[in-house]
């Protein structure tokens, strides 16, 4: 934490002041519900923020714990904890292709891709089907992929965030959701992990 204090990183400090056990339990609920064992697994988090998922993966016996994030402070912070970090924006340019293919048993993205932006096909962004193919290309033969997207910033807060899903039913019908369904993802609401307004959807696929 000395690093986060030194650079005055608001989000990292805010996370740190919160309840670490509670945050850890969020990811524990996810892995328990999905029956995912991290023992001996290689784990990749796309956008780990404070890195609770990385801590949990290491505690649960993952042999390889890596992450990608474009925030240089997040990268240094989690690297200082001993995790291998890659610093780049994964939704533009070459996206995730710089990473080693077929390597990761568990790939997680929580709150770190904006589904509304993908649905708008924002200029400069990789199209969602291509991005999803890049994620799958990183997964091992028995890989498991978890995607819990975030949304645009709205007017109203839910919990500590303005990024809520405004219209869950419209989102279910959206291109983003349809692409995931066509590619064999299940849509889930996981108690303890999902939140009704802010994170209402988890998409999950087990390869192999």
* 200 lies in the site for ligand SAM, by CB under 6 A: no
CB of 108 to ligand SAM, least distance (A): 7
69 binds ligand SAM (CB under 6 A): yes
The full DSSP string for 104-140 is EEEEEEEEEEEHHHHHHT-TTBPPHHHHHHHHHHHEE
48 touches ligand SAM (CB under 6 A): yes
Chain positions 109 to 138 lying near ligand SAM, rule: CB under 6 A, are 110-112
Instruction: Output 117 or 207, the one with its CB closest to ligand SAM.
Output: 117
- 38, 49, 143, 194: which one binds ligand SAM (CB under 6 A): 49
| One of 62, 74, 106, 165 touching ligand SAM (CB under 6 A) | 74
Closest residue by Cα to residue 193 from 11, 70, 27, 58 = 27
The residue number whose beta carbon is nearest to ligand SAM equals 47
Specify which residues 43 forms β-bridges with.
Answer: 65, 106
Q: How far is the CB of 119 from ligand SAM (least distance, A)?
A: 15
Residue with tokens 């919990």: 159
Question: What would the two tokens of residue 110 be?
Answer: 């929580």
> Please, which residues bridge with residue 60 across strands?
none
Task: Check binding of 89 to ligand SAM (CB under 6 A).
Answer: yes
Q: Exposed, middle or buried: residue 140 (CB in 10 Å: 0-12, 13-18, 19+)?
A: middle
Q: What does the binding site for ligand SAM look like in residue numbers (CB under 6 A)?
A: 47-49, 52, 68-71, 74, 89-91, 110-112
């Amino acid at each position: 934490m000395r690093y986060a204090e030194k650079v005055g990183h608001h989000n990292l400090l805010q996370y740190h002041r919160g309840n670490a056990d509670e945050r850890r339990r969020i990811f524990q609920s996810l892995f328990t519900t999905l029956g995912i064992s991290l023992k001996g697994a290689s784990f990749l988090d796309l956008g780990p923020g404070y890195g609770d998922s990385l801590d949990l993966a290491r505690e649960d016996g993952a042999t390889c714990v890596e992450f990608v994030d474009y925030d240089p402070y997040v990268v240094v912070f989690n690297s200082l904890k001993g995790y291998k970090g890659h610093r780049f924006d994964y939704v533009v340019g070459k996206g995730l292709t710089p990473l080693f293919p077929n390597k990761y048993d568990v790939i997680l993205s929580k709150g770190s891709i904006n589904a509304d932006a993908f649905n708008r096909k924002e200029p400069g962004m990789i199209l969602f089907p291509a991005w999803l193919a890049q994620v799958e290309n990183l997964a091992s033969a028995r890989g498991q992929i978890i995607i819990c997207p975030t949304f645009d910033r709205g007017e109203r807060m839910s919990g500590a965030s303005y990024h809520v899903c405004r219209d869950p039913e419209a989102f279910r019908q959206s291109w983003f959701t349809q692409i995931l369904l066509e590619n064999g993802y299940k849509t889930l609401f996981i108690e303890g992990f999902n939140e009704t307004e802010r994170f209402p959807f988890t998409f999950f696929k087990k390869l192999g």
